[in-house]
Structure 1
Amino acid sequence: MSMAVFLLVGLFVLLGLGTPVAFALGLTGLAMILVYDVTSLTQLAQSQFSALDSFVLLAIPFFILAGNVMVQARLAPHLFGFVRALTRPIRGGDAVGAALSAALFGAMAGSSAASAAALGRVVIPELDRGNYPRRFSAGLLAAGGTLGIMIPPSIVFVIYGAMARVSVTDMFKAGIVPGLLVTALLIAVTLVLSRRNAWGERAPFSLGHAARVALTALPALLMPVIVLGGIYGGIFTPTEAAAIAAIYGLAIGLLLYRSLGPATLAIVFTRSARMTATILVIVAQAIFIGFLATLAGIPQGIVEAVNGLALEPWMFLLIVNLVLLVLGCFFDGVTLLTVITPLLLPAVRALGIDPVHFGIVLTLNIEIAAITPPIGMNLFVIAGVSRTRTEEVIRGVVPFMAVMLLALIVVTYVPWFSLALIR
């Protein structure tokens, strides 16, 4: 038990002090080896290398590259222009178009912060012209950006699939319905607030204008169709799909939109390499910490506690959600994903909870953490790109966070939302 206490206390103290996740995980694991001699440093190196020597994890650098290409190729204006042309006849149509654009861009970027940044730069100035309050538009884009990790392809799903040893394809399928549910709830809040406060202006629908912007946006719109259609049709694996997404994004950015050049490509590849290195180092350390946690008996202790308290699956999921919501106030999504997954999965399986369903519940918590103060990443991303005070973004995101909590409850206790497309 002393090993378990040492591991948990050391890890959360380092994280609480603001130590980067990879260093907090690595230093805690290294200290545990030196103090308790549970394994050798040679085995440490071998286990970390073998953890990363995975065909599934090869999808991460390609999806990161594809997402950065989409951002640098400036596809967000084309997507927003297309959706806006369809929604402009209704009250609040521009804001509804922003929510739908977030869903579409999320199906290409795979990253919450990237989606929020790319759309925030384009959409918020347009909503300003429609007399939407900056607080509202910033909150909408902060919440909408979180769809990037729920609507596939998602880097979170790839990491979770590797750590939980579940099919990444199943995770991609499982994320579609919950992603659409969250999108629908964000749109519902947008419509209610827009109509109640008479925000935005209606414009007549123009078939000619819609056709022109659709033609311009078509190459970008084909991206999720090609990637997800290929995966679900059994044409290629998620890893191969990631490579195709990166190649396709480079092709349309260079040849069709011509928004990529030598300077922007250098930015894309440099940023992608840094992000890939950061994530894979964290994954390696997290898998190692999971190994040490098993040696310390933490997962087994959780299983015994669950059995001893005679917890039903719904009770366990309620406790997990409450804990994750609290932790989300202090830790980022990567920390929640990499630390919590190896600790709770044995209890999840012991209770008969589908690990794919649990992965979706965990991802929804990570979405909410991205907009939860005081360290919600999307809050600061939107505040930065829109030059809005963070306090205003937080006030604007409250109604959208409320419906995301509703989605969390629904998805948690109605597994159909997660499992409908994989059964």
Structure 2
Amino acid sequence: MAVFLIVALFVLLVLGVPVAFALGTVGLATILLFDVTSLTQLAQSQFSGLDSFVLLAIPFFILAGNIMVEARMAPQLFDLMRCVTRPIRGGDAVGATLSAALFGAMTGSSVASAAALGRIVIPELDRAGYPRRFSGGLLAAGGTLGIMIPPSIVFVIYGAIAQVSVTDMFKAGILPGTLVTLLLIGVTLVLVHRNGWGERGAFSPTSALRALGRAGPALLMPTIVLGGIYGGIFTPTEAAAISALYGLFIAAFVYRTVGLAALAVIFARSARMTASILFIVAQALFIGLLATLAGIPAGIVEAVGAFDLEPWMFLLIVNLALLVLGCFLDGVTILTVVAPLLLSAVRELGIDPVHFGIILTLNIEIAAITPPIGMNLFVISGISGTRPEEVIRGVVPFVGIMLLALVLVTYLPWISLAFLD
């Protein structure tokens, strides 16, 4: 049964069957062929798994992110960051990375961040003389910060699957997110100086204050949300609702870029995205139940014991496997299918599940910019009119530095756990 479950799922995913349908089809076939449980128990397990207060954060964070994108707040953030970094050679490119970090903190989405910023930033970098290959790679990599810098939808889903505190996941993402941002900036500066791209500009306090005034309302959102969570004022789910309400308020009454017609589009898009994610989560819970009945998690634990693997060896093997899987599977699949299978071994080896969640998230970031199916590569290619192979060439240095970040985060657990109680 275990072999059938794994092989059938892998074959369907490789054939391009949508994740939720692949999971559901394999799960139903397993029940019918092996009679390991009943359809009634299946329905009950899926309902109880989705009947979670934590998962309520997902639709609100998705709604908040779509509001931020539709409200066109990315230009204000980029203008502010560019004003601050102008005295540095390559300041435009550095400002793009910082904008990606900030916008990611507001949307919690890798693709949304890459798409929204790419439309604004790439034409500006073109005018500043940066080659399209570089700017495309930079924005593709910068967009991935949206799932590491809290609040992050990935953290919410992982928290529900691993039964760990979402607040702890948000705290754990602060230093790794900062580390990846600084490393991306470092690579950017090296490339800029090596190739002679970009120019220095004069810092203008007046322009900076004007840009801060325009971007200030948007910047308050992650401050309010994360400050409230870390201060114990509200839960992550309540914070998600507040972020959606605050985003709606500033979009409609401060920036005045979202009207009633746009709201209908935003709500419809958010509903579709929420349904898609929760449908996948429901099927992943189904597969997780069957995998447990088939003894797959227990088998992994036994294999770890039989080979006498140390925690660092186990994490090395997991990272190598996830990097390979990331070439063929999207982040949601990796998160919802792989994580439940490995968590038993993670706990058995004494690895903190919060730390493991950060490692998993960083692998998902890398998967988003890894060919042949890295989602951010094709998003940037589509919105910029750049050939995919050019974006892939441009992203290579950034993939390399993110692999270094993966090694550091994996083997220096304090980077993830420093802010936990």
Residue 204 of structure 1: aligned partner: 202
Q: CA deviation at 1:263?
A: 2.3
Name the aligned partner's letter for residue 251 of structure 1.
F
Residue 221 of structure 1: aligned partner: 219
Q: Deviation per CA, 1:193-251: give whole Å up to 9, x if none.
A: 11111111211000011001101100001010000000000000000000000000000
Deviates most, 154-163 or 264-273:
264-273
Residue 282 of structure 2: aligned partner: 284
Q: CA deviation at 1:265?
A: 1.1
Q: Structure 2 length as normaliser, TM-score? A: 0.99
Pairing of 1:20-419 with structure 2 (within 5 A): 20-419=18-417
Q: Structure 1 length as normaliser, TM-score? A: 0.99
Deviates most, 360-369 or 38-47:
38-47
Separation in structure 1 between the aligned mates of residue 265 and residue 180 of structure 2, nearest angstrom:
32
Separation in structure 1 between the aligned mates of residue 214 and residue 111 of structure 2, nearest angstrom:
25
Separation in structure 2 between the aligned mates of residue 46 and residue 311 of structure 1, nearest angstrom:
37
3-state DSSP class of the match of 1:204? coil
Separation in structure 1 between the aligned mates of residue 211 and residue 359 of structure 2, nearest angstrom:
36
Separation in structure 1 between the aligned mates of residue 338 and residue 393 of structure 2, nearest angstrom:
29
Separation in structure 2 between the aligned mates of residue 227 and residue 323 of structure 1, nearest angstrom:
35
Runs (4 or more) in structure 1 with deviation over 3 Å come to none
Separation in structure 2 between the aligned mates of residue 178 and residue 408 of structure 1, nearest angstrom:
9
RMSD: 0.6
Name the aligned partner's letter for residue 159 of structure 1.
I
Q: Deviation per CA, 1:91-150: give whole Å up to 9, x if none.
A: 000000000000000110000000000000000000001000100000000000000000
Separation in structure 2 between the aligned mates of residue 204 and residue 342 of structure 1, nearest angstrom:
52
Q: Deviation per CA, 1:152-211: give whole Å up to 9, x if none.
A: 000000000000000000000000100000000000011111111111121100001100
Q: CA deviation at 1:422?
A: 0.4
Separation in structure 2 between the aligned mates of residue 100 and residue 62 of structure 1, nearest angstrom:
25
Name the aligned partner's letter for residue 300 of structure 1.
A
Separation in structure 2 between the aligned mates of residue 387 and residue 221 of structure 1, nearest angstrom:
30
Identity within the alignment, %: 78
Separation in structure 2 between the aligned mates of residue 267 and residue 81 of structure 1, nearest angstrom:
27
Q: CA deviation at 1:340?
A: 0.5
Name the aligned partner's letter for residue 29 of structure 1.
G
Q: CA deviation at 1:42?
A: 1.3
Q: CA deviation at 1:329?
A: 0.4
Separation in structure 2 between the aligned mates of residue 395 and residue 265 of structure 1, nearest angstrom:
38
